[in-house]
């Protein structure tokens, strides 16, 4: 019988609330037929998921999007994770010609001058490589937490993404940052040194800064933009993505 992914997503979403993050990953792997891909930014949340996947030999591919503009500390976490778990974190990179054309048109740091330029950069460095990472996958795992931003607060544990034609699962959605930090410390999980320097959320170096006391967790991402729903295009509803991430 052909698996109905939309109905399966509804069932998994209802079940996830009663399960631990590990049990959520195990159940996802048991129920989903086909490839499952976890895309990691190598941040605090994603390192917890990497630990759970690798330590329990769950057959979920772990992939990172190397934009070419990451902090050195992020590459350190990548290396330390591969050394600790003895497993490879696969990488997807921007397409060379598209990146060359982008820099020719808007300059090396053009994203500072217009939101359109920033979205173009995110589209080439992150959104398009993500498409290749998820090509042919039946499910996509992320490290999103509901309390990270207003946009993410409305997300569910599991949903079916019609635009990508796959199941999207957020196993850490109901956990707090402190929950995850405590787990990583207890299990010796490698974490990015920038987290201790005021960086709760870490992306590309030119587009991420430390936050000040009292600022929202994602205030350090694309801080020069005025709006409060700043995303790169990876985790926005289909309608928003199609209207905001032109060319992505």
Residues near 189 by beta carbon (within 8 Å), at least 6 away in sequence: 47, 48, 50, 51, 183
Token representation of residue 71: 């902090």
Active site residue 232: yes
Task: Please tell me the number of Cα atoms within 13 Å of 94 on its side-chain side.
Answer: 21
* Distance separating alpha carbons of residues 197 and 136, to the nearest angstrom: 38
Catalytic, out of 42, 65, 119, 232: 232
- Is 108 part of any known ligand binding site? no
Count the helices and strands in the chain (H runs, E runs).
10, 6
165 is in an annotated binding site: no
**Do the annotations mark residue 6 as ligand-binding?**
no
Burial of 201 from C-beta contacts in 10 A (0-12 / 13-18 / 19+): buried
Q: For the stretch 154-184, what's the b/e string if a residue is b when 16 or more beta carbons lie within 10 angstroms of its beta carbon?
A: ebbbbbbbeebebbbbbbbbebebeebbebb
Spatial contact of 49 and 143, defined as CB atoms under 8 Å apart: yes
Q: Is 121 annotated as a binding residue?
A: yes
- Which letter, b or e, does each residue of 111-138 get, where b requires 16 or more Cβ atoms within 10 Å of its Cβ? beeeeebbbbbbbbbbbbbbeebbeebb
Name the binding residues.
121-122, 204, 207
Residues carrying an active site annotation: 232
**Which residues make up each annotated binding site for [4Fe-4S] cluster?**
121-122, 204, 207
């Amino acid at each position: 019988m052909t698996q109905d992914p939309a109905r399966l997503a509804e069932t998994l979403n209802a079940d996830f609330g009663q399960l631990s993050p590990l049990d959520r990953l195990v159940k996802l792997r048991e129920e989903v037929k086909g490839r499952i891909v976890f895309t990691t930014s190598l941040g605090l949340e994603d390192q917890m998921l990497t630990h759970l996947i690798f330590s329990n030999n769950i057959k979920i591919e772990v992939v990172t999007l190397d934009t070419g503009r990451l902090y050195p500390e992020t590459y350190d976490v990548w290396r330390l994770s591969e050394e600790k778990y003895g497993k490879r974190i696969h990488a997807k990179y921007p397409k060379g010609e598209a990146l060359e054309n982008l820099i020719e048109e808007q300059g090396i740091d053009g994203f500072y001058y217009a939101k359109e330029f920033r979205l173009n950069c995110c589209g080439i460095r992150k959104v398009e490589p993500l498409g290749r990472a998820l090509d042919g996958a039946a499910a996509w795992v992320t490290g999103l937490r509901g309390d990270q931003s207003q946009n993410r607060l409305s997300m569910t544990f599991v949903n079916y993404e019609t635009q990508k034609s796959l199941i999207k699962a957020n196993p850490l959605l109901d956990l707090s940052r402190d929950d995850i930090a405590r787990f990583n410390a207890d299990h010796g999980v490698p974490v990015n040194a920038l987290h201790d320097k005021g960086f709760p959320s870490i992306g590309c170096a030119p587009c991420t800064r430390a936050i000040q006391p009292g600022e929202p967790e994602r205030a350090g991402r694309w801080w020069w933009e005025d709006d409060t729903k700043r995303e790169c295009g990876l985790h926005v509803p289909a309608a928003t993505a199609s209207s905001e991430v032109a060319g992505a």
